[in-house]
């Protein structure tokens, strides 16, 4: 087991424990970011979200009309 840990340390450039902790931190950050993204997505729904989408569609139609002229 000791030799395998030494080989892995040489391959990844740090101790196995450090790499494991690094991966755990990345997973926690990813979960936190996913929760934040989900909350932001949910906040964008509803009447305000629909109005913004309608405004974007109207703007795109205006651009298309301008292109035709």
- Per the structure, the complete domain to which residue 35 belongs is given by 11-68
Q: Please check whether residue 6 lies inside any domain of the structure.
A: no
pTM, two decimals, is 0.50
Q: Please check whether residue 4 lies inside any domain of the structure.
A: no
Q: Please check whether residue 5 lies inside any domain of the structure.
A: no
Rounded-to-integer distance, Cα 28 and Cα 48, Å: 31
Number of domains forming the structure of the chain: 1
Q: Please check whether residue 37 lies inside any domain of the structure.
A: yes
Q: Please check whether residue 42 lies inside any domain of the structure.
A: yes
Name the DSSP letter for residue 14.
S
Reading the chain (69 residues) residue by residue, the pLDDT tens digits are 889 888 988 988 989 899 999 999 999 999 999 999 888 888 876 544 444 555 555 655 555 555 555
């Amino acid at each position: 087991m000791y030799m395998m840990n030494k080989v892995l340390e040489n391959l990844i450039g740090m101790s196995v424990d450090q790499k494991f902790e690094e991966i755990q931190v990345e997973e926690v950050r990813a979960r936190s970011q996913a929760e934040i993204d989900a909350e932001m997505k949910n906040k964008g729904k509803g009447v305000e979200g629909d109005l913004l989408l309608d405004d974007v569609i109207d703007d795109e139609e205006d651009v298309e009309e301008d292109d035709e002229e």
